[in-house]
Chain A
Amino acid sequence: MKTALAIAAAVALATPALAQQRIPVGHLMDNSGATSDVGVPYGQGVADTLAWVNQTRQGVAGRQLNVLGFDYGYQAPRAVSQYQSWTGRDRVVAIQGWGTADTEALVRFVNRDKIPFVSGSYSAALTDAGGKSGRQGVEASPYNFFFGPSYSDALRGMLRWAADDWKAKGGQGRPKYVHMGGNHPYPNSPKEAGEAMARELGFEVLPAIQFALTPGDYTSQCLTLKQQGANYAYLGNTAGSNISVLRACQTAGVQVQFMGNVWGMDENAMKAAGAAANGVVFPVRTQVVTGQDAPGMETIRAISRLSDPTGNVYRPVHYLAGACAAMLMVEAMDTAAANGGQVTGERIQRGFYERTNWVPKGFEGVCTPSTFTNEDHRGTMRVAIYRAVVSGDTSQGSVAELMRAGTMRLEPVTTVELERKRELLGW
């Protein structure tokens, strides 16, 4: 009894002291909204990694991270109101964010409050850190960061590949390109950039086709696609609604090469779409995927065990990307805290500029090297294109089993290195 009391007293005394020392970090997730299909694995990756940092590295400079998670259901207004509560009440120093609409809406807020914001949105409008591009609607966003190629750059890379693919396949005349996606800031983000690039590469650009971010029956869209005679179609939505399109188009007998957004395809979607997903190409942000080996994969497995002690859960590409995004923030915080420095938003932001070809320690061979400068937040210009290969029935068995059996595979197609053109900054 006495010891119990003593422990209780010790805990009561220690808690406020500890709480004061913990570093508050916000984590916006979509676990329930339109993009939760990919938001869940990404958010899990971020959460597990931050928990792992707390557990194995004692947080940042000996101070634990106090990660405040919030599921905003992909509704930008809810993200904004949560942001206000975080800055007003919890005084977060950095935020792990998610969608394009909310990230773009928050740009002005995070600039004002000087809070680094690592988004799951790779909208090119967030890369113009100095605000020097002079593009309409693009503001200076010195506090916005993300891990991977921007949506526009990823699409440019895929179009580059598509142009070669068309020649390699011996296609006659000009190939036709069409942008497909919902009317939402996220699918719209690379639309104009992609169409401009496609024209430049000699594609005929068809009028865009719209489909909602939610699953549904998209037969009529596929019939339109078929009638247009498109050869290459970009799927701008996340995996959940893309599956519906892929299945409907398979039924309607549409012969088109689909190119997915980074969030547009993954292992879960391959299982759900089955043979309809076969042949879809999409960019992968990390250097490896689960099942392949690299020095850093050991760390990923350790992180994964935090939320899955059995070690059996398959971690899709988004989980790995989430881990890398979280680690960029953690290492920038390390830099801020180095030599007894304060961990403030401003110092964390400067921490992002410390390294070039930056791969977080322990993640070698997993995270693609990133370089941020105070004018250019395009972390990488490298677009690694993979193809989803589905060679059998996917309705039985888990993703892990299907991947192991080779029924589903992620096949590297090519890696496109884009030039870092100044005039394309922020677009």
Chain B
Amino acid sequence: MDGTLLFQLTLNGLIVGALYGVVAMSFVLIYKASQVVNFAQGEFLLVGAWMCWWFLTEWQLPFVIGFLFTLVFMTLFGIILQVVVLRPLIGEPVISVIMATIGMGIFFQALMKWIFGVFAKPFPPVFTAERVSVLGLEVQTAYLLSLGISVAIMAGFGWFFRYSRHGLAMRATAFDQQVAQSLGISVPRVFAMSWAISAVVSAVAGVTVGMVNGVSSALSFYGIKVFPAVILGGLDSILGAVLGGLIVGVLENLAQYVDSQWLNWGNMYQVAPFYALLLILLIKPYGLFGTRNIERI
């Protein structure tokens, strides 16, 4: 047993997990509002990070402006995807909608590789101090910033859904589309808005990871990591998603610890969350915190 390593890995897991949480949150947002399971969530990170990289290196924009441009672009991107691809599929079976998002995922992943290549490209340095020491663990400043941003986004979501008009409209739509419509809520607008917000939030996560590891197609793997997180947290709970993300982050790192100390199998890091996922679905088919669907005939 090695206490420091265990501690550092756990801390690392929490930091990475917070990012998973943010991505999971934006995934749940789409699901809650429009009942669409978005298999292309990872590609939102990818597209966002590449766009930001492009603004910063090719256009030589200062970080803040480039970042804002990215957010604007992602808003449009989310809306366009929803309108062009998903709106025609309203009312189609689950499998069709899932496949459409998978198709988008493949398409954009390949497109990004085509445009930007497969090599990981580094962001220009944004912070003067590249890393900070947190309780003995050297952490990239960008990660710390992302932790702050994550908390801010989470708080923002909380406020949004509780007090803002649009947030309430979104909750109403999630609860019952017909009722919402009859109350004068424009359901298509709510759908588009949820995609836009989701794309923007994912892009923030994408830029953060890009700053730490460089931008590469590996970013889209975050989209896959979302699934264990949301199954843990329940598909319709925003807070659950955050919690799920944290758990998955820690789980990965603990798996790495167990692996490095005793098993030496390798790859446990990658697979452990999926074992956890299957296990949970075996015991609780609706996830740990998910609400059970009660169906009436």
Contacts and interface: CB of A to CB of B under 8 A. Distances in A.
A370 to B, nearest CB: 30
Contact-residue bracket for chain A? 35 or more
A210 B255 CA distance: 13
A395 B4 contact: no
Contacts of B120: 215, 240, 243-244, 272
B140 A251 contact: yes
A3 interface: no
A224 B113 CA distance: 31
B20 to A, nearest CB: 11
B120 to A, nearest CB: 4
A216 B214 contact: no
Contact of A36 (B118, B209, B267): B118
A15 to B, nearest CB: 32
A393 B125 contact: yes
B218 interface: yes
B245 to A, nearest CB: 14
Interface stretch (B8-16, B149-157, B181-189): B8-16
Interface residues of B, number: 42
Contact of B139 (A183, A215, A251): A251
A227 B4 contact: yes
Given A243-B120, A395-B125, A209 B216 contact: no
Contact of B119 (A37, A251, A253, A395): A37
A310 interface: no
Label chain A's interface by main secondary structure. Answer: helix
Nearest to A220: B256
Contact of B2 (A217, A227, A251): A227
Contacts of B270: 212
A395 B122 contact: yes
A268 B266 CA distance: 28
29 contacts: A32-B118, A37-B118, A37-B119, A207-B260, A208-B266, A214-B217, A215-B213, A215-B214, A216-B213, A217-B213, A220-B256, A221-B269, A223-B5, A223-B12, A224-B256, A227-B2, A227-B5, A227-B260, A243-B214, A244-B218, A247-B213, A251-B130, A251-B212, A252-B137, A252-B138, A253-B138, A272-B119, A272-B120, A395-B122
> Which 7 A-B residue pairings sit nearest by Cβ, starting from the closest?
A210-B266, A215-B216, A215-B120, A227-B5, A220-B256, A224-B260, A215-B218
Interface of A: 32, 36-37, 183, 207-210, 212, 214-217, 219-221, 223-224, 227-228, 240, 243-244, 247-248, 251-253, 268, 272-274, 393, 395-396
Interface of B: 2, 4-5, 8-9, 12-13, 16, 57, 113, 118-125, 130-131, 137-140, 209, 212-214, 216-218, 221, 252-253, 256-257, 260, 264, 266-267, 269-270
